[in-house]
Chains A and B, each alone.
Chain A
Amino acid sequence: QKEVEQNSGPLSVPEGAIASLNCTYSDRGSQSFFWYRQYSGKSPELIMFIYSNGDKEDGRFTAQLNKASQYVSLLIRDSQPSDSATYLCAVWWVDSGGSNYKLTFGKGTLLTVNP
Chain B
Amino acid sequence: GAGVSQSPRYKVAKRGQDVALRCDPISGHVSLFWYQQALGQGPEFLTYFQNEAQLDKSGLPSDRFFAERPEGSVSTLKIQRTQQEDSAVYLCASGQGAIYYGYTFGSGTRLTVV
Interface residues of A (CB under 8 A from B): 4, 8, 31-32, 34, 36, 42-46, 49, 51, 88, 90, 92, 99-108
Residue in B31, B33, B101, B102 with the greatest tally of chain A CB atoms within 10 Å: B102
Closest Cβ of chain B to A28, distance in Å, is: 18
CA gap between A46 and B96 in the complex, in Å: 14
The list of the 6 closest CB pairs from A to B, nearest first, reads A105-B42, A43-B105, A102-B45, A46-B102, A107-B42, A34-B102
Residues of A within 8 A of B33 (CB): 101-102
| Nearest-neighbor residue (CB-CB) of A51 within chain B | B100
Residues of B within 8 A of A4 (CB): 42
CA gap between A50 and B95 in the complex, in Å: 17
CB-contacts of B14-60 with A (<8 A): 31, 33, 35, 40-45, 48, 50, 55-56, 59
Interface residues of B (CB under 8 A from A): 31, 33, 35, 40-45, 48, 50, 55-56, 59, 91, 99-108
CA gap between A45 and B102 in the complex, in Å: 10
Task: Select one of A44, A100, A104, A107 contacting B105, CB under 8 A.
Answer: A44
Residues of B within 8 A of A88 (CB): 42-43
